[in-house]
Structure 1
Amino acid sequence: MRKPMLSPLPILYIVTCLLFACTRGVKHTTPLQDSLLPVEAMQSDADVLWTALSEIHPGFGIYTAPDSMERQYRQLRASLTAPMTEDAFVAKLYPFLCYLGCGHTQVRHSVHYHPATNVFRLPFEVLVQQQRAWITTRRTTKLATGDEIIRMNGVPVAAIIAHGSQLYCGDGYVPSFKELYLSEYDGFEDACNTVYHWQPPYQLTVKGADGALKEVTLNAADTALKEMVIPEDKYAGWRKVDSTGYLGLYFAPAAHTALLEVPVLAYTDTLAMQKSFAQIAKANTKYLVLDMRHNGGGDLRIAMRLLSYLADTDFRIIKDLYCRLPDPSKHRLGADFDSALTENFKASCTPGALVDGHYHMNILPAFGQGYGPLPVAKKDRYRGELIVLTDGGTFSSGALFISALKAQRAHTIFAGRETAGTAEGCNGFAMQELTLPATGIKVEFPWLRVVSMSTPAQKGRGNMPDSVVEYTPADIVAGRDMDLRLAQAIIQRKMAGAAH
């Protein structure tokens, strides 16, 4: 499975993010059978995890009530009745953790983990939307792009999607990230392997374009088809600027229109924003498309820098940063957390006043004015028409940036899909890693809660676009960028209106 990958922690002042890597990650597989985990070890680690979540985790109780979380923990513990592989144990941990509603809390295998190679690849890929699944790319002539899967091996597709949604944690109740995970990162296939342990032949009930149902049997040999589809060149007619580092900057010919792609908020090139907006100003840009899709976050300081070029006036990037304990490292589980990351935490902030049961954290001066107000850019600030693209991969500080931009810039159009990060904020800033002592399995574990600048209409949901863009299976296979197409159509309407 191609998993959304967590970024490394080279600096302190970050909101750790899910970076959607294009490379294929470690799949859920069946490890060697001589490495079964003892029941006592798994139960002990379940107890440690519960203690850490209920007493330290800043997101505990926000999206699932504490008593409901405790019921889930007790069900998890009661299910640990026989030795099992590490993969099987991880597969039991994830549904429990998903109730927390924190996309920064993810499970990582122990250093002793040895996966086997008997992983079965499905001869098709899917597009998941609204609890339904359609065939996109296929490796068999028995299926067609656009076929809707109704059942697989007798199981309704909605049940497969529900199980697959519990194999990776996301923020709040946001469906867009789960749909992206199931579609683009092979989460649907992962559910077939991890939850159902299916292998060929597969029995599918699908609905074709004509609405008729048909039964299809897919054997192991049904993988020979290689569709020769040349993806659409979405940059046709755009001129790329080569001096903007990791940012993608493009100009449309003779239209005063620019496209700025921000795939990650990276501190590796601190001049990238300055160079990009200097070029945007030089071109007398009147229409800017800001592409924040698949931006899994990164360094909050870079989010501040980006916002300084776009905000109407001096601005704030976050409202608050808090912790449930003044110093989580002094908790009785403190030794089970990473000591180097503990030093990062202490170097980035200090505890302040106790407010409503948690400690407001003071950001140390070495890491900037975290709360603001922060000044807008003195030079090359963009004040024209702005269209911002988001999707189910816009997460962490990427979503915090969207919340702050929405609150502090007028006359901005948001298009695409709901952000993966909730509009009200996330858990993160300075991340930690909890090692479950009996099995060695690791849990990415935030200590801090970041409150965004947004006042969301619905708790637990992401930043909503003004214009929602949905893709068809044919769009996916053809590589059509329907979000960018919409942005261009909006610009054309505005240009036509300005001409009259």
Structure 2
Amino acid sequence: MNRLYSFFCLLSTLFLFACGASEKGFRPDRKYAPEVLRKDYTVFRNLLEAWHPSLYWYTPRDSMSAYFDEGYAAIRDSMTEPQFRTVLSFVIAKVDCGHTSVRASKAYVHYLDTARLPLFPLVLKFWSDTMVVAANLNRRDMTLRRGTQVLSINGRTTQQLTDTLFNYIVTDGLNQTGKYQYLSTGLHFSSWYKDLFGYSDSFEIAYRDTAGLVKNIRIPLYDPRADTFRRSLGRVLLPGTGQREKGPAQRTRPPSKRARKKRELLLTRNLQVDSASQTAYITLNTFEHGYHLRGFFRHAFKELKTRKVKNLVLDVRSNGGGDASLSTLLTRYLIDKRFKVADSLYTVRRHSPYDRYINNGFLYELLTLVASRKHNDGKYHFGYFERHHYSPFKNLHFDGQVYILTGGNSFSATCLFAGALKGQSNVTLVGEETGGGYYGNTAWMIPDVTLPNTKVRFRLPRFRLVVDRTREKNGRGVLPDVPALPTIEAIGKGQDFKTARVKELITAHRLQ
């Protein structure tokens, strides 16, 4: 069944690639008339109400209807694409499904890839009522260095910023950890700040200095087109090579495709063994296909057995998920009992009057027809996963102490993995709550929808998955057994505080 699913996904990808067309004469400031936006919004609402199997899972029907009405009422005048996407994002965030999100049109994505637009210069780490500088794009700025606590931006405090931004950020259930982590990742904060508050030439920043005093500073926008700092250094990093050059005329040959692939694999999944402490460290940043994970798992656990490793630290903090068959495969190397992927896995229909807006809708309809059967509850169930039990591996099964590092970026299939092992006597989850849900999620097949006029896209998951109906449906992620939370000092020093906490646990266990 998983092979059939992968086959149809491949067909879908090839179809998208073949049918892609370049957008000519694109204008990012183009405004769409309100009647055009309302037509797209109506398609948006009708598709969610027809297809989404968890639309009212955490938000009651009457409340969700009120949010839909609020979004429609917000279209009072002409809007640019980003303005319209902001309206859609506000509504879709109320579904409380991390797999259901708004995406820019393909033309707008292409524009962003080449425009090199000015940016809010600070990359910030958020948690609770705290925001701390993780990086500063204005590299000449010696004041707002990594680890500096920012108290407000243009007068808006951390709480005021997150209270506003969280209304537009999707998450599974009532999870807040995932939203904090989302704002802390890459340029997400910069993008949302621009869309909701707008940019000016500079920003008034209140911060706390090293002496604990509150001070203010005005910082400029970061303009990548005007950044000559790298060239002025004389010796600079060549993009993607890790090598340095002495001047513009002495560039070395870029790495080969094979070398780039090897480096990508190493960064995505790797194994390190510390023989002195009999501890192995596996970093796993995805469960997606294309990274030879089956072979990697087999090699890694064979190595653990050969080298008689007693402790395994498995880092899935940056693992956003992927194919559940791969997360299930890894689980079988570690779990001590038979398990199921899902107690229930179903979609609410096979087709609707709005399917023409679903990208490759025919392929998804065909796959649903093959894989699901209608039950007495009126839903179409993916019965294979509801019935099938998986057993632990025997040959290369790891029976030592297992420490799983989790965080707000741990999502989707990663939560199936961590959730299945939670509570096992030799497994300890360390870090922060996962961004994905513990009780279940809405995913499995996730086509894009393209709205007919603006070409704005959104993801529309088809199946609701309940992992274990005996778990509490409280909207939380997989909670750690041993919390390891960020601190201002740790961010400032660039410390891996979660790995440090695991090493303490391993030492304490050895001394018992």
TM-score bracket, shorter-length normalisation:
0.7 to 0.9
Higher normalized helix content (fraction of residues): 2
Displacement of 1:282 in angstroms is 1.1
In the alignment, does 2:184 pair up with 1:183? yes
Q: Give the counterpart letter for 1:360 in structure 2.
A: H
Please say which of residues 73-82 and 472-481 is displaced more in the overlay.
472-481
Alpha-carbon displacement from aligned partner over 1:97-118 (angstroms, at most 9, x marks no partner): 1010111112222244374747
CA contact (8 A) 2:146 2:491 kept: no
CA distance in structure 2 between the aligned counterparts of 1:344 and 1:278, rounded to whole angstroms: 40
What's the counterpart of residue 396 of structure 1?
Answer: 412
What's the counterpart of residue 354 of structure 2?
Answer: 333
CA distance in structure 1 between the aligned counterparts of 2:284 and 2:491, rounded to whole angstroms: 21
What's the counterpart of residue 482 of structure 2?
Answer: 467
Alpha-carbon displacement from aligned partner over 1:384-423 (angstroms, at most 9, x marks no partner): 111111111111111111112226x333111011111111
Alpha-carbon displacement from aligned partner over 1:209-230 (angstroms, at most 9, x marks no partner): 4443222222358999999xxx
Distance change in 2, residues 1:110/1:301 (3 Å): same
CA distance in structure 2 between the aligned counterparts of 1:447 and 1:372, rounded to whole angstroms: 21
In the alignment, does 2:439 pair up with 1:415? no
What's the counterpart of residue 159 of structure 1?
Answer: 160
Equivalences for 1:296-445 in 2 at 5 Å? 296-325=320-349, 327=350, 329=351, 331-338=352-359, 339=361, 341-343=363-365, 345-346=367-368, 349-355=371-377, 358-363=379-384, 371-406=387-422, 409-445=424-460
CA distance in structure 1 between the aligned counterparts of 2:160 and 2:471, rounded to whole angstroms: 30
Alpha-carbon displacement from aligned partner over 1:1-24 (angstroms, at most 9, x marks no partner): xxxxxxxx955589xxxxxxxxxx
Distance change in 2, residues 1:456/1:148 (3 Å): farther
Displacement of 1:453 in angstroms is 3.3
Provide the identity percentage. 23
Alpha-carbon displacement from aligned partner over 1:362-397 (angstroms, at most 9, x marks no partner): 23xxxxx56421122131111111111111111111
Match of 1:137 among 132, 135, 138: 135
Q: Give the counterpart letter for 1:423 in structure 2.
A: Y
In the alignment, does 2:217 pair up with 1:216? yes
The TM-score with structure 1 as length reference comes to 0.82
CA contact (8 A) 1:352 1:361 kept: no
Displacement of 1:337 in angstroms is 1.2
In the alignment, does 2:74 pair up with 1:52? no
CA distance in structure 2 between the aligned counterparts of 1:448 and 1:178, rounded to whole angstroms: 23
CA distance in structure 2 between the aligned counterparts of 1:33 and 1:389, rounded to whole angstroms: 41
What's the counterpart of residue 121 of structure 1?
Answer: 119
Distance change in 2, residues 1:456/1:207 (3 Å): farther
Where does the alignment leave 5 or more consecutive residues of structure 2 unmatched? 11-25, 234-262
Alpha-carbon displacement from aligned partner over 1:292-349 (angstroms, at most 9, x marks no partner): 1111111111112111111112222222101122x1x2x1112221235425633662
CA distance in structure 2 between the aligned counterparts of 1:212 and 1:225, rounded to whole angstroms: 30
What's the counterpart of residue 451 of structure 1?
Answer: 466
Q: Give the counterpart letter for 1:283 in structure 2.
A: R
What's the counterpart of residue 193 of structure 1?
Answer: 194
CA contact (8 A) 1:318 1:400 kept: no
Alpha-carbon displacement from aligned partner over 1:74-97 (angstroms, at most 9, x marks no partner): 111111111111111111111111
Alpha-carbon displacement from aligned partner over 1:92-150 (angstroms, at most 9, x marks no partner): 11111101011111222224437474733233221111133122323323334443323
Q: How many residues align?
A: 450
Please say which of residues 35-44 and 432-441 is displaced more in the overlay.
432-441
The TM-score with structure 2 as length reference comes to 0.81
Displacement of 1:167 in angstroms is 3.9
Match of 1:101 among 96, 105, 123: 96
Match of 2:502 among 477, 487, 496: 487
Distance change in 2, residues 1:61/1:256 (3 Å): same
What's the counterpart of residue 62 of structure 1?
Answer: 57
What's the counterpart of residue 174 of structure 2?
Answer: 173
Matched residue of 1:99: which SS? helix
CA distance in structure 2 between the aligned counterparts of 1:37 and 1:154, rounded to whole angstroms: 33
CA distance in structure 2 between the aligned counterparts of 1:344 and 1:257, rounded to whole angstroms: 47
Distance change in 2, residues 1:457/1:347 (3 Å): closer
Displacement of 1:465 in angstroms is 0.2
CA contact (8 A) 2:406 2:480 kept: yes
CA contact (8 A) 1:13 1:299 kept: no
Q: Give the counterpart letter for 1:278 in structure 2.
A: K
CA distance in structure 2 between the aligned counterparts of 1:216 and 1:173, rounded to whole angstroms: 36
Deviating 4+ runs (over 6 angstroms): 221-227
CA distance in structure 2 between the aligned counterparts of 1:165 and 1:224, rounded to whole angstroms: 35
What's the counterpart of residue 236 of structure 2?
Answer: none
Alpha-carbon displacement from aligned partner over 1:12-59 (angstroms, at most 9, x marks no partner): 589xxxxxxxxxxxxxxxx84652112112111211211222222012
What is the RMSD computed on CA atoms of the aligned residues? 2.9
What's the counterpart of residue 258 of structure 2?
Answer: none
Please say which of residues 213-222 and 267-276 is displaced more in the overlay.
213-222
Matched residue of 2:79: which SS? coil
CA distance in structure 2 between the aligned counterparts of 1:97 and 1:34, rounded to whole angstroms: 24
What's the counterpart of residue 266 of structure 1?
Answer: 288
CA distance in structure 2 between the aligned counterparts of 1:69 and 1:310, rounded to whole angstroms: 41
